[in-house]
Amino acid sequence: MNDEKIKLRVTDTGQTMDVVVLSKRADRIQVVLGTGIHNVKCDLTPTRNGLAYVGNAMGREIVYERSREQVQADIDLRNPVLRDPRKR
């Protein structure tokens, strides 16, 4: 199975990390930080202006620097069937 990975930035330190995406929608992205029994799940929600996604994991703020429109375009590219509803 191909897990989708995205790059997040920790705002305190400026470090970037690759995380695995559990689910991706335009209104919320669920990611897993770490591997094995020490992993942490985190929800990323869009900012007020919609230019990034922000979440909090273990007291640290993490940011995914893509806009809501860019994430929706990524979703549409991965699964084009969801984009076009079936005509009856």
Summarised one tens digit per residue, pLDDT across range 9-44 is 999 999 999 999 999 999 999 999 998 899 999 999
Distance CA(65)–CA(72), nearest Å, equals 14
Distance CA(43)–CA(28), nearest Å, equals 7
Count other Cβ atoms within 10 Å, centred on residue 52: 15
Helix (H, G, I), strand (E, B) or coil at 56: strand
Helix (H, G, I), strand (E, B) or coil at 83: helix
Q: What is the pTM of this model?
A: 0.84
Helix (H, G, I), strand (E, B) or coil at 3: coil
Q: Which tops the pLDDT comparison, 51 or 83?
A: 51
